[in-house]
Amino acid sequence: MSLNRCLFALAFCLMGAAGSVRGAELSGRVVAVNDGRGVPGSSVTLTYGAGAAGPKAITVFTGEDGSFRFPANAVAPTAGSTLQASKLGYQQVTPFAVDGSRANVKLALEPTANIAASVPASAWLANLPPSTAKHVVMANCADCHQFPSPRVREYAAKIEAVRGGPEGDAKALGEWRKVVRHQAWRTVVSYMKSKHYSIFPDESPASLDSVDWETVQNDQYTFWNDRMGDLIAKYLAENFPHSTDSMVPDGYALGAPLGSTAATVIREYALPDTSLVREAIFVPGSSYIWGADTYKNQILRLDPETGEQKWYRVPYQGSTGPHTIVGDSSGLIWVSMVDHNQFGRFDPKTEKWTLWTLQPSGLKSGNSMASAAVVHDIGIDSKGQVARDGTGKIWLTLLGTNEMATLDTASSDVAFYKPTQVPGLSPVNHMLYSVVLSPDRRCAWFSQVNAGIGCLDTKTKKVEFETTFAEGDGPRRMATDNAGNLWIPLFGSSQVAQYDTARHKIVATFDLPDRAATPYAAAWDERRKALWVSGANADVIYRLNPATGKFTVYPLPRHMAFIRQISIDDKTGRLVSAYGNYPVGSGPSMAVTIDVGN
């Protein structure tokens, strides 16, 4: 046997032995099949077969020459693992199976004439011009899940497939078709009112089975009122693409330079399909990722090294639980519950819960959305951690009643306050959402998706510095930096507003690279002096450089990657989030971490 053959045999044996170990070599190059040149900026996703500890998939990106390298501490590919290269406008020529270490892998991409299967949901609406109606659509239809999701697109195709119009008269048929579209989308809007309730499990008092139909369809108890619903139906009837089967290569673009580099690593952790972990965070002092499972009324402890999952049931009799999860500087975890007006704290060291009830007066009787406080967001600081005002109280938003609440955790005293009330909107219609405490703790800045923002003075308890946004803009989960700026993601108009808290005015508004990306949340990154913005509808995370006003984009390696809150690890700068399409089962059930690479 020649020396080369001996070396080859030795290498082959080493490859086999490396199947279940870390530190394996996995590298190669992505090339264009037509000219053999390297493809820069392509993602390469290693999806593990069964039996691998840690993430289900790891994604890296190619450098300028098309080369890629997986991190040295990654688990070597197990049997059944695959490599998938992806770049918008290209498709991989053949599937690539990988088992064990491999160097010099070559993945071939070819240009594709139809990018419909690879674009995010936002692509179908991104190029429609901004308008109030479009923004109302985005602010409401992408509220719980990506829009248009594959199921929405499938339904739109059914609308076009309806038959029975006047034959032989093209003009009359065209008018009839408009009526069909309008009626169908109006029905969808009404169906989504039902969905407010059908997301609750059978045992919930707010389950659709337990609520009368008049209540279900009452626009005072839903996130949008009937006027907005009519706007939505009309806009979709007139503007939704009649076919989403194909899209030409220049039909959609990321719209900004890639932020991801050859040093960027994305890890995705598979969670049970029966869970709905919509938010995942880092907590100071903990090496775990923590998540809130809205559907199963429990929180998740995930070991990012091994992938081990441990679940902690929230100890109350509600049927559906944690919506928002936030850590604090001492390592405690705080969660708000959708049901039963509950708010809780979990101590990871003792694994003990403390629960409080926040029940404002004036709750309506019955099981409507207005009969519960729906404890929602928790006041945070510039690190995204739980903040306390000057008297040590925690601030919360109550979505069900459009109220703010304070909680004194030492005495358990609770108090309620009125933020902005907009005539014509019911309490739920306001969609009171996030609360951010200013660095001086004077302002509890709140956002109302269907109204604007304001400062509720933590001493006087009066609303100051209200700023109303245009209808549909949809201010959602805000962030504050340490330079006096409030960063406001505008979910409906897909922009980010910069509010100067000293001058009490918006000083800049930044258009997202994709105007249907629906930024659910902004997160301030003090280490990088950057703002992270979730592109919930576009399968991306954006990074805004406030100094230049420019975005870069970090594509996520999965469809329906409905990113909401972004948490930043104090120690490492790593980002963590989760894919949170509502209801359960409508999208991938995964937590995700991102090593930015710089």
Partner 1 sequence: MNHNTSIPKLLAALLGFTVSAMAAELDDGQARVLFNTKGCNGCHAIEQMHLAPSFRSISVRYAGASADTVDDLAQKILHGGAGNWGLVPMISNPGVTPAEAQAIATWIILLGHRTVDGGPQGK
Give the shortest CB-232-to-partner 1 separation in angstroms: 15
Nearby residues of 313 by Cβ (< 8 Å), 6 or more positions away: 297, 298
Q: Which two tokens stand for residue 151?
A: 């199921």
Q: Does 180 interact with partner 1 (rule: CB under 8 A)?
A: yes
Distance CA 223, CA 341 (A): 18
Applying CB under 8 A, what is the total number of residues that bind partner 1? 29
158 lies in the site for partner 1, by CB under 8 A: yes
Instruction: Please report how close the Cβ of residue 130 comes to partner 1 at its closest, in angstroms.
Output: 29
The token duo for 594 is 């991102």
Q: Which of 191, 391, 440, 571 binds partner 1 (CB under 8 A)?
A: 191
Among the listed residues 10, 73, 97, 151, the single contact to partner 1 using CB under 8 A: 151
Which CB sits closer to partner 1, 218 or 485? 218
Q: Find out whether 75 and 54 touch, Cβ atoms under 8 Å.
A: yes
Residue choice 27, 78, 91, 198 for contact with partner 1 (CB under 8 A): 198
Q: Quote the least distance from Cβ 217 to partner 1, whole Å.
A: 8
Q: Among 5, 163, 171, 503, which residue sits at the site for partner 1 (rule: CB under 8 A)?
A: 163
Asked if 329 is part of the footprint of partner 1 (rule: CB under 8 A), the reply reads no
Kindly tell me which residue out of 64, 154, 175, 308 binds partner 1, with binding defined by CB under 8 A.
Answer: 154
- The string of DSSP letters for 531-585 reads EEEEETTTTEEEEEETTTTEEEEEE-SSTT--B---EE-TTT--EEEEB--SSTT
Half-sphere exposure in the Cβ direction for 320 (13 Å, CA): 26
Q: Distances from the Cα of 303 to the Cαs of 47, 291, 311, in angstroms?
A: 18, 11, 12
Torsion of CA 141, 142, 145, 149, to 10 degrees: 80
Choose, by CB under 8 A, the member of 159, 380, 560, 578 that binds partner 1.
Answer: 159
C-alpha closest to that of 381 among 517, 512, 541, 570? 570
Q: How many CB atoms lie within 10 A of CB 53?
A: 14
- String marking each residue 206-235 x if it binds partner 1 according to CB under 8 A: -xxxxxxx----------------------
CB of 149 to partner 1, least distance (A): 12
Q: Which two structure tokens, joined as six digits, stand for 97?
A: 């199976």
Closer CB to partner 1, residue 367 or residue 401? 367
Instruction: By CB under 8 A, tell whether 202 contacts partner 1.
Output: yes
If one asks whether residue 187 binds partner 1 (CB under 8 A), the answer comes out as yes
Residue 164 within binding range of partner 1, rule CB under 8 A: yes
Laid out side by side, the sheet with 540-545 consists of: 519-525, 530-535, 540-545, 550-555
Q: How far is the CB of 212 from partner 1 (least distance, A)?
A: 4
Interacting residues of 357 by C-beta distance below 8 A, sequence separation 6+: 340, 341, 342, 343, 414
Q: Does the footprint of partner 1 cover residue 272 (CB under 8 A)?
A: no
Give the per-residue contact string, 99-138, with partner 1 (x = CB under 8 A; - = no): ----------------------------------------
3-state secondary structure of 165: coil
205 interacts with partner 1 by CB under 8 A: no
Q: Which two tokens stand for residue 330?
A: 């001492």
Minimal distance, residue 161 CB to partner 1, in Å: 5
Q: Which is nearer to partner 1, 161 or 502 (CB)?
A: 161
> 162, 173, 248, 507: which one contacts partner 1 (CB under 8 A)?
162
Amino acid at 350: T
Q: Residues in the site for partner 1, rule: CB under 8 A? A: 151, 154-155, 158-159, 161-164, 179-180, 183-184, 187, 190-191, 194-195, 198, 201-202, 207-213, 585
